Structure 1
Amino acid sequence: MTDAGVDIFHGSQRRYWEAEFEGSDLNFAGWLKKISGQPTITVGSVGLDKDFGDVFTDSEFESSPASLDELVRRYDRGDFDLVAVGRALLQDPNWVKKVHAEKYNELSTFEAKSLASLS
């Protein structure tokens, strides 16, 4: 795919912190970068303590803000180049500004009803 012109890979998975293969803690984006040498994007429950699956079966579903320490550790190690954020931004459009300003106590809990904003 790199030979065909792909210049960045988006390694989407449910939980960015989960290893893709036994014996290594690299996630999907980490392996894409290691194998291709191209920049990568990671995503998957970034900044939240629960993955996305239950949101469709539980109308009261909530996912609280979670530490970004593991994300930063992997970024600093060079596992990926960019981070995509989904649900946290649906709940709070100012999420990035709050994280940048280190106002972690102001981050919102994701609620299933936030998906209604997409319709």
Structure 2
Amino acid sequence: MQHFRGLSALVLVGSGMLFIAPATASMSLQKDSPVINTLFAQTKPQCIGRYMIDVHESFNNQLHDMIFIDEFKIASKPLFLPAFTQRVKLREQALRDAINKPENESVNAPFIKEKIILPGES
């Protein structure tokens, strides 16, 4: 009797799988084409996460100039090149000076790992 129940359950499941319509993506219709073409006629690239996506010009996802990564706030703000260059030079000098401090062991002292000079810099 149990063998018959198992066999009938297997037949029901198998026949159910035959009658289920496979899920397919719908193709865009010709009537949708003018709307899509109008929507994407004027686009701009937008950074969303780690992806660059072309969106309509009116789209704006710049809610904040900050992000939290592991409960650590990282904020950004525009900085002109002379001020940026000055901050980089001051930080490089602070790292060079930190190596020579007596309380810093040479193994654990902060240091400049690599300096990449961009074209146009001297």
For CA contacts below 8 A with separation 6 or more, give which structure has more relative contact order: 1
**Larger Cα-atom Rg:** 2
TM-score when scaled to structure 1?
0.20
